[in-house]
Homo-oligomer: A and B are copies of this chain.
Amino acid sequence: MTSIQAKLAAHGHRLTKPRQAIFTVLSHQPQSVLEISQKLSKKKLQIDKVTIYRTLDCFVNLGLANKTQFKDQTFFYELADHKHHHHVVCEGCGKIADIELDEAELLQKVRKNSPFQIKSHHLEFFGLCQKCH
């Protein structure tokens, strides 16, 4: 709460009830707005989806959340307090697991092979989890 409080304040933003609620529901598991909405409902916290979108957007800008995308046109959000990492998605059951890699070599190769100044990347893996295998 203090961290979010501080970051919001530093940007002239307010710590509101919806923002607190949405924050408590975030985790390292990337979640869609629908899933977040449903989690909130279960907690008897009724928050409009537009507010969820705007809040997540705000969190992403403040570096509190990360926005990801897998194979469909839906965006997923997770807490940003961990180390930079990527995910493996099970194409059988939808399960998502974190993957932590040393990407130094990879990025080095890319920088050597491309004249672009690279700022960020998306990397996601797809396959089958142990159960679905």
**Which residues of A pack against B, CB within 8 Å?**
69-71, 73-75, 88, 90-91, 97, 99-102, 105-106, 109-110, 113-130, 133
Establish whether residues A127 and B118, one from each chain, have CB atoms under 8 Å apart when the complex forms.
yes
Residues in B with CB closer than 8 Å to A125 are 110, 114, 116, 118, 120-121
User: What are some 16 contacts across the A-B interface (CB < 8 A)?
Assistant: A69-B71, A73-B74, A73-B75, A88-B116, A97-B114, A97-B115, A99-B110, A101-B106, A101-B109, A116-B125, A116-B129, A118-B125, A119-B128, A121-B123, A121-B124, A122-B124
Query: Which residue of the partner chain B has the closest CB to A91?
Result: B119
Residues in B with CB closer than 8 Å to A69 are 69, 71, 73
| Distance between Cα atoms of A121 and B69 in the complex (Å) | 12
Query: Which residue of the partner chain B has the closest CB to A101?
Result: B109
Residues in B with CB closer than 8 Å to A101 are 106, 109-110, 113
User: Which of B70, B71, B127 meets A117, CB within 8 Å?
Assistant: B127
Known: A91-B119, A117-B133, A121-B126. 4 other contacts (CB 8 A): A73-B75, A99-B113, A106-B106, A120-B127
Establish whether residues B127 and A119, one from each chain, have CB atoms under 8 Å apart when the complex forms.
yes
Within the complex, the shortest CB–CB distance from A128 to chain B, in Å, comes to: 5
